[in-house]
Chain A
Amino acid sequence: MAVETLGAAPRVRVAPWNDPVVRGWAFQIVVVGLVGLLVWFLVSNTIDNLTNQKIATGFSYLNREAGFEIGDSMIAYSPASTYSRAILVGGLNTLKVAILGIILATTFGTLLGVGRLSPNWLLAKICEWYVEIFRNVPLLLWLFLIYKVISEAFPGPKQAISMFFGSLFLSNRGLYFPVPVADPSHKWMGVGLLVGIAGAVALHRWAKKRQEATGQPFPSIWAGFGVALGVPFVIWLLSGAPHHMSWPALKGFNFEGGIVIQPEFTALLLGLVLYTSAFVAEIVRSGILALHKGQSEAAMAIGLSRGQVMRLVLLPQAMRVIVPPMTSQYLNITKDSSLAIAIGYPDLVASINVTINQTGQAIENILIVMAAYLSVSLSISAFMNWYNKRIALRER
């Protein structure tokens, strides 16, 4: 009520230069004007410079032939492809590293964070020192160290270390391992895997509902794995169990056949995961420590095992503390994957850098990079915000 009467009170007449509303707008107009002047200054300079130096503008270069090699590409690419294709290849590589990095760093970091709280003194100390060592040294240094050690300490292809009876080869060109020869059944196995995962999720929901209703537990995690992997396996059997493999073999100076994980990719992914998991571990640890001690005591008192206490009681609650800082770590992985350029992995920034050097069109290319990273960052933020809302404490 008091607020309403205040709001309804007649406005006191003041001079315009003392009216906060007028002053606010005047200040805003001045600031925006200054920013506008700065932008105009920069833009006009840029236009002058571009015309003086006869640098082409516009995005038409995207359809021209790129003419450079890309070492690792998930889609068909050759130097005859266009610049836009080259940038797309780089972007996909960035996404690949980012997604794999996020998954692995979350898993490994969570294990480390839980390990730091272990009652086993030795395990806790090892995890603690891992965290301290990895987060106090620049990521770029880890990338260089891992990359140089792989490429200089491992032998060349001719003396490659052969493992598992000559099926795996480890050399400074990467890790070669056999893959099944492409078969029409693979597509259906992929579909089967998706169906299996959907089935596992449904099974888990059903098991949870039943346990809530009747109290009878059901090993839904193991059964879920069985369903998710079983469906593609059955499809594989039904299609006549094609077992032709492409084996890596030394031909000339390098291996042929099989599939290779390149040292650049390994170093980048390993460096990102080892570095970020140290930060993830700290986030997980502080999330668990933020819980009241009574939570774990109560859970143990009703007879849950240590694993169950962690999985069913502590982690779900700790999630509320963990998710917001974890989001920024995920964004960091995505942005840090741009360090790929330093060790020669062809990610988005590397593709763009070559394109800038070849075409001289810096502005357009930088705009593309910024737009790409911004959209990835914003989608990760949006997803994590949605997830955060889902797990947030339901308050009345």
Chain B
Amino acid sequence: MTDAVPVGERRQLAPPVLETGALGWMRKSLFSSWGNGITTVVLAAAVLWLLSWFLNWAVFTAVWTGESGQACLGHGACWALIHEKYRLIFFGTFPYAQQWRPLFAVITMIAMLILSSDRRMWNSRLILIWGIGSFVTFLLMFGQIHIPLSLMLFVALAAGGLGMILRNAAVAQPVEINGWRALAAIGAAGLALRIAGVLPAWSLAIAPFSYVETGLWGGLPVTLVLATYGLAFAFPYGVLLALGRRSNLPLIKGLCVGFIELIRGVPLISLLIMASVMLPLFLPSGTTIDKFLRAQVAIILFAGAYIAEIIRGGLQSLPKGQFEAADAMGFNYVQKTLFIILPQALRVVIPPLINTFIGFFKGTSLVLIIGIFDFLNTANQALVDPLWAGFPGEVYLFAAFVYFCFCFSMSRYSKYLEVELNKGTRR
């Protein structure tokens, strides 16, 4: 009782040492009971042992540079192999001197994905970004792009038609409407003339680099192209399938249900094998389709069925009142779907759609079975060299690390978005 406490004030006692701070945390989350304490000790020992073994192998005794696999014998991890082969792993058999092209293509695609992940971009700017980005990507990969006149006319017709439907008189100025009409008219007239043979079979050639066929493509750009464009093209037709499945028209519904269930019931491999051996039989004899394109078509068909099921989930989550209110406003089916239903339904399904994208990013590795050099297959090719035989672990761990970086960041983004998009509905 030496230090006197002023009357009316309580002495502020520090909480017990074992309840707060680092010690308190440890007691609460590591040693809360005997069983817990033993678990912690055993697990910590196991983790430390594994970690020390792994670090020893992967860092301390690893070989970082070397002429051949001989340099690695008797040491830890052989990262010299990665050092030697990383360009083969990333870009496959793309002409060696030109490999800056796939590098910039990959950078363009990643930039496109990052830009699309920003919510401020979710408007018509996105179409612009994807149009320019895709053009740059394929120009870099192919080196030369020939755009036939008929394709340009078709695009003009489609864009004009879509503009006329989407930007109707209620929202757009007459000038804009007339612009869309003119575009569509030019497209339609041009196509008619082209079919009649008045216009020549002209095509616009953009050829700044040497041409590289798809058979030489390999590595990361292939994986990215197959997954990104697989999903991008599957998306509109997945939406149509989902709408068809929810439709009241029995024949349409039957077709969509049958197609979705058929595709979802079989493995992707069987579709890929089908695309590689059966597609040539399905088409008029003499037509040859690029192997890469065949795999891309199989992936699009496959992805569409999965996307359809996700979008169906979004459609089902909408209360019935939304449909009824749109009907009561006198909207027709297209207007109701485009302006009321889809904007709400798609918003709900963006996080699961990203998860599907992650799934397909991993799933494209199956194309190696039909002989396309995606990222995993080029990693396999790095193992073939007899000079470097016997180090599969290093190559696969490296490939796994690259896949992990992509998939992990996308899954974190999808989690963030889930919270972000639900802000309005949470208190």
Contact = CB atoms under 8 A, between A and B. Distances in A.
Contacts of B269: 338-339, 341, 349
B114 to A, nearest CB: 18
A27 interface: yes
B281 A362 contact: yes
Interface centre among B250, B251, B281 (most CB of A within 10 A): B281
Contacts of A149: 392-393
B376 A144 contact: yes
Contact of A136 (B36, B383, B403): B403
Contacts of B280: 49
A335 B399 contact: no
A373 interface: yes
Contacts of A378: 265
Given A122-B43, A138-B376, A140-B366, A356 B251 contact: no
Contacts of A29: 251
A28 B252 contact: yes
B195 interface: no
Interface stretch (A40-48, A169-177, A181-189, A384-392): A40-48
Contacts of B400: 137, 141-142, 145
Interface string A125-163: 010000011011111111011001100110000000000
A53 B285 CA distance: 10
Contacts of B284: 45, 48
Nearest to A335: B267
B30 A122 contact: yes
B381 interface: no
Interface in B248-306: 248-252, 255, 262, 264-270, 273-274, 277-278, 280-285
B277 A362 contact: yes
Contacts of A122: 30, 39-40, 43-44, 47
A35 interface: yes
A46 B249 contact: no
Contact of A338 (B267, B358, B368, B411): B267
Q: Mostly helix, strand, loop or mixed at chain B's interface?
A: helix
Interface centre among B39, B280, B400 (most CB of A within 10 A): B400
A25 B248 CA distance: 11
A223 interface: no
A281 to B, nearest CB: 14
Interface residues of B, number: 56
A349 B392 contact: no
A153 B392 CA distance: 10
A139 B364 CA distance: 11
A100 B248 CA distance: 41
Contact of A126 (B43, B262, B277): B43
B399 A373 contact: no
Interface in B377-421: 379-380, 383, 390, 392-393, 396-397, 399-400, 403-404, 407-408, 411
Interface string A2-19: 000000000000000000
B251 A28 contact: yes
B369 interface: yes
Contacts of A153: 393
B270 A349 contact: yes
Nearest to A151: B392
A373 B267 contact: yes
Nearest to A119: B32
A148 B80 CA distance: 19
A356 B277 contact: yes
B362 interface: yes
A136 B407 contact: yes
Contact of A144 (B43, B255, B396, B408): B396
A120 B40 contact: yes
A303 interface: no
Contacts of B397: 145
A342 B368 contact: yes
A341 B362 contact: no
Contact of B376 (A25, A120, A140): A140
21 contacts: A28-B252, A31-B252, A35-B255, A46-B282, A48-B284, A49-B281, A122-B39, A133-B404, A136-B411, A138-B376, A139-B362, A140-B368, A144-B396, A148-B393, A149-B392, A152-B392, A331-B264, A338-B267, A341-B369, A356-B273, A366-B270
Interface of A: 24-25, 27-29, 31-32, 35, 42, 45-46, 48-50, 52, 119-123, 126, 132-133, 135-142, 144-145, 148-149, 152-153, 331, 335-336, 338-339, 341-342, 349, 353, 356, 362-363, 366, 369-370, 373-374, 377-378
